[in-house]
Structure 1
Amino acid sequence: MKSFVTIGEIMGRFCTQGFARFEQAVPGTMAVTFGGAEASIAALLARLGNSAAFVTALPNNPIGHACVTELRAMNVDSRQTVFVDDSRLGLYFVEQAVGARAGQVIYDRDRSAFATTSADRYDWEAIFANADWLVITGITPAISKLAAEMTCEAIGRAKRSGIRIAMDMNFRSKLWRWDPSCSPAELAFRWMSKLACEVDVLIGGVDDFVNRLGFPQDEKTALPTQILNAYENVQHVVLTRRSGSGGEQRFSAELHSRDQDPAVSGTANITSVVDRIGTGDAFAAALIDSLASDRFSSAIDTIEFAVAACQLAHTIPGDFSLIERSEILEAMAGSSAGRIRR
C-alpha cells in the first residue's frame, strides 16, 4: 500500500437542481456538498486501498469541521488540516451542462481560509513523514500568491525527501487573477512552467502543454515527446482529450513513458452523463494509483484502468467518485454496463 499526500482547497459546492439555470434556482433550493480536485483525488485513492492524506486550511467553525467529518468518512487522513479563526470557506456554484448548452461555474474563493494561509502554518515534517507521493494540481497556485508559494514549498520539501510528485495541470481561466500586473494566461505560464520542472508525472491536455508550458504544436514531434526531452525529471506524460456535449462525452488519454516506447492509449465513449465535475480527478487518481504500485504488468492496462474510472465517475453526482476497484475492473472488461447486482 502506497501513501499519498494531496494539497489544495476544498470548497462548498452549490449545484442547481436538475438542469436549472442559476436565475431559476436562486432564490430557491440548491444541492450543497463539498468539492475540490485535490480532495476528490485523495478520496478515490483512499477508496482504492491506499493511505491518502489531504492537506488544506479551513475556517475554525462548524462548517469547516463538517468538511473534515466528510473527509474522514471517506477514509481520508485530514489530521494536518490548519484551522483558521475568523475566516471563510471557499465556495463554487454549478450549473450543469445539457445538450448544446455549456455548463457554468461561478467561484467565490477570494480571502478564503486556504487562500490566506501561508506555507509556514503547515507542519511539513508531519505531512511528509511517511509519504511516498505528493499529488498537486494547477488549481492550487491559481488561487492566491500565498497558495502558489505554498505549492512551491510543498514540492521543494517533497523533492528533498525523495517523494515522487504527480501534477494534473488543470487550468482554470476564472482563477490566476491574483497578480494584476499580468494576465491570467501569463501568470499561469510563469508558475506552471516552473512547477513542471520538478514533477515525475505530468497530466494535461494539448492547451495545457502549449499555453501553460510554452511548447509548440509541432506535427513532426509529439507534445509529450517534447516534454520528455525538455524535462529530464518527468518520467510519464499523459495527454488527455475530451469532446462531446452535455449528455455525451468522448474521453481519451495517451500514456507516454520515458522507459517505454511506443505510447499507449485508451478511449471511452460516455453516454447519459450525470455529472462531469470530478471525472478528470478520478482519471488522475486511478492512473497514479497504478503507476505508483506497478499494479498492472502492461502499460495499456494502466491507462485503460484510469479511463474506466473516469467513465464511471461521469455516472455519479458530486465531485467525489464513489466507486470501487472491482467496479473499475468490470468496466475495463465491459462486463458491468446495465447490469443489476441482486
Structure 2
Amino acid sequence: MAKIVTMGEIMLRLSTPGNEKFIQADEFDINYGGSEANVAVSLANYGYDTEFVTAIPDNPIGDCAVAAVRKYNVGTKFISRSGDRLGIYYLEPGSAVRPSNIVYDRAGSSIACATADLFDFDAIFADADWFHFTGITPALSDSAAKLTEEALKAAKAHGLTVSVDLNFRKKLWSQEKAREVMTNLMQYVDICIGNEEDAEKVLGFKPEGSDVMSGNLELAGYMNIFSQMADRFGFRYIASSLRESHSASNNGWSACIMDGKTKEFYHSKKYTIAPIVDRVGGGDAFTSGLICSFLDGKDMKTALEFGTAAAALKHTIPGDFNLVTRAEVEKLAGGDSSGRVQR
C-alpha cells in the first residue's frame, strides 16, 4: 500500500452555530482542519498510509489538533512540537444570498515560524510514494515558503510523485507575491490542481469566457490554459474543480482534467448540491479523490469522477474533514444520488 505525506498548517476552527452572524453568536462550534490535514484524513479513510507533517505548539491545544487527525489513523510522528501558537480561523457560515465569511487569526503560528532544521525529511520521505502540498503553506511567511521548497527538494530526491493544490488566499498574500513564489515551486510538481481563480492569481493563466458567479463555464478556455500550463511546467496532469455559485446554499459542482503529454481533456458529470451543509474542505476532498484513484492505478477519467463525487459528498458533512468511505464515493460516482436511507 502506497504512503502519502502532506505538509501544512492545521488550525482551530471556531464557527458560529447554525447560520448565525458573528455579532449574534454567544458561543462557537469547535473543529480542527486545514487543507493538507484534510487531504491526509480523506486518504486515510480510503485505506492509505498517510503522514501529516506540521509544527504545533507543545500545549493542550496543540494536543487537541494532533488528536483530531490521529483519530482518523493519520500518522503524526513527524510533527514538530515547536512555536508558540496554533493558528485559528473564525467561520461565519453563509446561507442563500449571504456568503460565508472567514476571519484568520494565524499570524506567528508554529508552522509559519518553522524552519527546515525541525524536520528530518530523509526519514519523512524514506518509505513514501507521494507528497502533497498547497499554496497556503508558502503564503504564511517567507520562512514557510523556504520550508516548503526544502521539503519539495527532498521529496523529489527520494523519487516521490508531487501534487499541489494552488489554493490562492488573498487574505494571506498578494497576487504578485504568490506568482513569484509559486512559479518557482512548480518545477517540482507532477500534478497541478486548482480552480479558475487559483490558475489566474497564482500562475497567470485565465480561462476565457467563464464566469462562475453567473454559472457560465466555457470549457474551451480551460483546455487552452491547461495546455499552456503543461507546456510551460511539464505537468503530468492538470485538474480544476468547477464550482457554479448560484448561492451560498446551492452550487453546481463538476471538474475537468487534462493529460499534460497527450493533451486529452475530460469534463466530469455535474452535481447540484443543495442545500449545502458545509463547503469548507470541498476542494481538499476533490484532491484526495484524485490522489487515491491515481494511486489505485485508475485512468484519469475514472480518477476525475471519483474526486468529483467525493467533493460533492463533502458538502453534506459538517467540519473540515471528508469522512466518507470509498464505497460511498463509488456509489455516487456510479450514478446513485437518490439519498435513500440505507437499512
Q: Which TM bucket (shorter chain)?
A: over 0.9
Aligned to 1:181: none
Q: Structure 1 pair 46/216, CA: closer, same or farther in 2 (3 Å)? A: closer
Per the TM alignment, residue 146 of structure 1 is displaced from its structure 2 partner at its CA by 1.1
111, 121, 140: which is aligned to 1:143? 140
Aligned to 1:88: 85
Q: Structure 1 pair 335/241, CA: closer, same or farther in 2 (3 Å)? A: closer
Letter in 1 for 2:278: D
Aligned partners of 1:117 and 1:146 also within 8 Å: yes
Letter in 2 for 1:67: A
Deviations 1:72-123 (A, max 9, x none): 11000000010016x1110000011211111100000011111111111111
- Correspondence 1:295-310 to 2 at 5 A: 296=298, 298-310=299-311
User: In 2, Cα distance between the equivalents of 1:64 and 1:91?
Assistant: 12
Aligned to 2:204: 214
- Correspondence 1:100-115 to 2 at 5 A: 100-115=97-112
2:36 matches 1:38: yes
Aligned to 1:23: 23
User: In structure 1, the residue corresponding to 2:111 is in which secondary structure?
Assistant: coil
Aligned to 2:240: 239
Q: Percent identity?
A: 38
Aligned partners of 1:2 and 1:293 also within 8 Å: no
In structure 1, stretches of 5+ residues that fail to align are 177-183
In structure 2, stretches of 5+ residues that fail to align are 209-219
Q: Which moved more, 1:219-228 or 1:38-47?
A: 219-228
- Correspondence 1:122-271 to 2 at 5 A: 122-176=119-173, 184-215=174-205, 217=207, 222-232=224-234, 234-244=235-245, 245-266=247-268, 267-271=270-274
Letter in 1 for 2:253: F
Aligned partners of 2:230 and 2:261 also within 8 Å: no
Q: Which moved more, 1:131-140 or 1:326-335?
A: 326-335
Letter in 1 for 2:182: M
Aligned to 2:10: 10
60, 78, 101: which is aligned to 2:58? 60
288, 291, 304: which is aligned to 2:291? 288
Aligned partners of 1:327 and 1:336 also within 8 Å: no
2:115 matches 1:118: yes
Count of aligned positions: 329
Q: Which moved more, 1:325-334 or 1:62-71?
A: 62-71
Aligned partners of 1:5 and 1:128 also within 8 Å: yes
User: In structure 1, the residue corresponding to 2:240 is in which secondary structure?
Assistant: strand
Deviations 1:158-201 (A, max 9, x none): 1111111000000011002xxxxxxx111111011111222000
Q: Structure 1 pair 330/157, CA: closer, same or farther in 2 (3 Å)? A: same
Aligned to 1:333: 334
- Please, what is the CA RMSD of the aligned residues? 1.5
Aligned partners of 2:126 and 2:158 also within 8 Å: no
Deviations 1:237-295 (A, max 9, x none): 0022212211111122111013445311112221110000001100000111111231x
Deviations 1:130-182 (A, max 9, x none): 11000000000011111111100011111111111000000011002xxxxxx
User: In 1, Cα distance between the equivalents of 2:64 and 2:92?
Assistant: 24
Aligned partners of 1:102 and 1:246 also within 8 Å: yes
TM-score (ref. length: structure 2): 0.92
Per the TM alignment, residue 336 of structure 1 is displaced from its structure 2 partner at its CA by 4.9
Q: Runs of 4+ in structure 1 displaced over 3 angstroms? A: 215-221
Aligned to 1:180: none
TM-score (ref. length: structure 1): 0.93
Per the TM alignment, residue 299 of structure 1 is displaced from its structure 2 partner at its CA by 2.9
Letter in 2 for 1:208: D
Letter in 2 for 1:29: E
Letter in 2 for 1:214: G
